[in-house]
């Protein structure tokens, strides 16, 4: 299974005075089992890029396929493939909306049409994964938690659908150093234990360099570098600076 972007372009506000092209002819294949890091300056197109990977945005031109299926199609097969790609947004606690933590985490599995027992099993598994004791937290309101705990609930909600690809857009934004370490330890463990693919967007070069086995650099809506993090950070300093990013300390 792979996600393949074939020469995609995306333009916001087509036909209006605010028309702006955010991606320009981007082609990329994300293989199963990769840990892909994405970096770039603010406005480089990172968030627009990752929102194409699970069909939240459809390209203005070009195609995005998951396991050979065009995910912009309105078919059951395309819907099934979109469910294989889970996304945790920047400040994912804004995604929370149910009355209890268990109900919030259960939302995705219920939409997959799973049985009550299967949904319960996935909720418990996801809560255990993010370090939230089921008996202690299941019936609590997600809005009475700390910021770090809310972040864990949001991640658990995605983990519960058991995606083959896990996309994280600045998952540590706003967290203190301890919270950031915990979040990334959980992500690394999921990657290693389940063999999933992870796509991580981050401004933190240290996080990227310690986690990713492949790195792409976006600038002005185009991929300007693609390779192993060590190679890019050691041999492409000028290109990185031109793209508005720097090497980790």
* pTM of the predicted protein model: 0.88
How, if at all, do strands 61-66 and 2-12 pair? antiparallel
Name the E strands within 34-173. 35-40, 61-66, 69-70, 85-88, 165-169
C-alpha 145/C-alpha 230 separation (Å) is: 38
Tell me the two tokens of residue 129: 């994964």
| Number of helical (H) and strand (E) elements in the chain, helices listed first | 10, 10
pLDDT at 26 over 90: yes
**Between 9 and 171, the higher pLDDT residue:** 9
**Between 56 and 130, the higher pLDDT residue:** 56
pLDDT at 124 over 70: yes
Residues 100, 140: contact at Cβ < 8 Å?
yes
User: Which of left, alpha, beta for 133 (phi over 0: left; psi -120 to 50: alpha)?
Assistant: beta
205-219 in b/e form (b: 16+ CB < 10 A) is bebbbebbebbbbbb
**Between 206 and 40, the higher pLDDT residue:** 40
C-alpha 45/C-alpha 202 separation (Å) is: 13
C-alpha 222/C-alpha 193 separation (Å) is: 33
End-to-end CA distance of the chain: 35
C-alpha 13/C-alpha 19 separation (Å) is: 4
Mean pLDDT (whole number) for 161-190: 84
Residues 50, 87: contact at Cβ < 8 Å?
yes
The per-residue pLDDT of the chain, averaged, comes to 90
Q: Give the pLDDT score at 69.
A: 95
Q: What are the residues facing 223 on neighbouring strands?
A: 218
pLDDT tens profile 210-221: 899 999 999 999
């Amino acid at each position: 299974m792979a996600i393949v972007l074939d020469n995609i372009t995306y333009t916001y506000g087509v036909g209006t005075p605010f028309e702006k092209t955010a991606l320009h002819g981007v082609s990329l294949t994300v293989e199963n089992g990769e840990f892909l890091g994405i970096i770039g300056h603010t406005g480089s197109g990172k968030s627009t890029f990752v929102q194409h990977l699970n069909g939240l945005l459809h390209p203005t031109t070009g195609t995005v396929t998951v396991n050979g299926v065009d995910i912009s199609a309105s078919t059951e097969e395309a819907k099934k493939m979109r469910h294989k790609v889970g996304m945790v947004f920047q400040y994912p606690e804004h995604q929370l909306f149910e009355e209890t933590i268990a109900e919030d985490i259960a939302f995705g599995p219920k939409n997959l049409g799973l049985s009550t027992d299967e949904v319960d099993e996935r909720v418990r598994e996801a809560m255990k994964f993010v370090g939230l004791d089921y008996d202690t937290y299941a019936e609590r309101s997600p809005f009475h938690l700390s910021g770090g705990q809310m972040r864990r609930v949001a991640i658990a909600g995605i983990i519960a659908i058991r995606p083959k690809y896990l996309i994280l857009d600045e998952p540590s934004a706003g967290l203190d150093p301890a919270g950031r370490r915990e979040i990334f330890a959980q992500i690394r463990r999921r990657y290693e234990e389940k063999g999933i693919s992870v796509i991580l967007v981050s401004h933190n070069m240290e996080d990227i360099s310690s986690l990713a086995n492949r790195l792409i650099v976006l600038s002005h809506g185009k991929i300007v570098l693609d390779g192993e993090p060590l190679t890019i950070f050691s041999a492409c300093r000028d290109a990185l600076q031109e793209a508005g990013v720097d090497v980790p300390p």
